[in-house]
Amino acid sequence: MKLEQYYNMNYLLENIDLWLWDWDDTLIDTRTYYGQKMKPDQILQRTDQDLDQEVPGWRYFVNLITFLVMKSKKVGIVSFGTNQIIEAYMKRMFKSENHPFSDDNILTIQRDDNYKPIEKYLKKDKNDFINTLINKYQKEPSKTILFDDAIINVIQAIKYGILAIHLPSRESEYQVNQNQLWKNPNLLFNYKTLYKSEKFIKKQIRMKQNLIKSVEHFTNRELWKQKIKKKFKNEDKQRKILGFLIISILIITIISISLFNK
């Protein structure tokens, strides 16, 4: 697989040793949970066409993981999802019991027999999971990357010194027709993700001491905010604009009163 045709894979390999993914709304479309049977033995019966809908980027993900493991990189899943479900999908996607994922590197919150989260094990972000794998594999936070749809997890990871990329799946939900069965596959991890994210990864690597300050560069929402801030950062310009608006309102008010008195 010629990954380099999409982005500079050599650069990523040199700078990232531990590759981590969230599961829900990063790899799998969570609408799957509401329309499909989710017991592990049922997941193992999925056809390739089923997977194309449920985990749209699964073929690329399998190829990428195989490539990374071949290059002696470490991989993992850190999720608030259900371990048994994720493991079943990994078995089905890799079409083998012998795949790179197991209880050792699929870290999830603990659940009861009905898959309900056990409250005392709930976590506010993914950093505990990430730190567990960093220690297990003896890697540096600065050489670890997380792909996640929840901006809070991305921000907390960056604060910890981890490279992190935000996938817009959840935040872009309003763009999805609620009558539509599946989300736009481009909102989930796919073969374009690293290509689109490469410049942000490089920027994070260059700004190791100021990573949290660059968070606003990593989401469309924050990019928009940054443009607005840049446009109005000059205080004199803000005062002039405010003065102009006040004068305009006064003029319109005076004209309106004059017309009314006539």
Q: Picking from 17-26, 40-49, 112-121, 220-229, which range would have the lowest pLDDT averaged per residue?
A: 220-229
Residue ranges making up the domain that contains 245: 232-261
Using pLDDT thresholds of 50, 70 and 90, give the confidence band for residue 187. Answer: confident
Quick one: average pLDDT of 168-173?
62
| Residues 16, 103 share a domain | yes
pLDDT, residue 41, reads 96
Nearest-5° Cα angle at 31, 164 to 51: 80
| Residues 192, 81 share a domain | yes
Model pLDDT for residues 23-33, shown as the tens digit of each residue:
999 999 998 99
pLDDT, residue 64, reads 95
| Residues 135, 90 share a domain | yes
- Residue 95 covered by a domain: yes
Q: Is 233 exposed, middle or buried (0-12, 13-18, 19+ CB in 10 A)?
A: exposed
| CATH number (domain holding residue 135) | 3.40.50.1000
* Domains in the chain, number: 2
Given a cut of 90, whether residue 19 has pLDDT beyond it is yes
More confident residue, 26 or 211: 26
Model pLDDT for residues 84-115, shown as the tens digit of each residue:
999 999 999 999 778 999 999 999 987 766 66
Buried b (16+ CB within 10 A) or exposed e, 55-90: bbbbebbbebbeebeeeebbbbbbbbbbbbbbbbbb
pLDDT, residue 159, reads 87
Given a cut of 60, whether residue 177 has pLDDT beyond it is no
- Residue 226 covered by a domain: no
| Residues 11, 109 share a domain | yes
Model pLDDT for residues 216-250, shown as the tens digit of each residue:
455 445 555 555 555 555 556 666 776 767 777 77
Nearest-5° Cα angle at 166, 164 to 171: 155
- Residue 195 covered by a domain: yes
Full 3-state SS string of the chain: CCHHHCCCHHHHHHHCCEEEECCECCCECCCHHHHCCCCHHHHCCCCHHHHHHHCCCHHHHHHHHHHHHHCCCEEEEEECCCHHHHHHHHHHHHCCCCCCCCCCCEEECCECCCCCECHHHCCCCCHHHHHHHHHHHCCCHHHEEEEECCHHHHHHHHHCCCEEEECCCCCCHHHCCCCCCCCCHHHCCCCCHHHHHHHHHHHHHHCHHHHHHHHHHCCHHHHHHHHHHHHCCCHHHHHHHHHHHHHHHHHHHHHHHHHHHC
| Residues 240, 170 share a domain | no
| Residues 59, 105 share a domain | yes
| Residues 153, 61 share a domain | yes
Given a cut of 70, whether residue 119 has pLDDT beyond it is no
pLDDT, residue 115, reads 64
pLDDT, residue 125, reads 76
| Residues 156, 242 share a domain | no
pLDDT, residue 104, reads 95
Given a cut of 70, whether residue 50 has pLDDT beyond it is yes
The token pair at 199 is 């410049």
| Residues 131, 176 share a domain | yes
Given a cut of 90, whether residue 178 has pLDDT beyond it is no
| Residues 249, 149 share a domain | no
The token pair at 194 is 């690293």
| Residues 43, 136 share a domain | yes
pLDDT, residue 212, reads 54
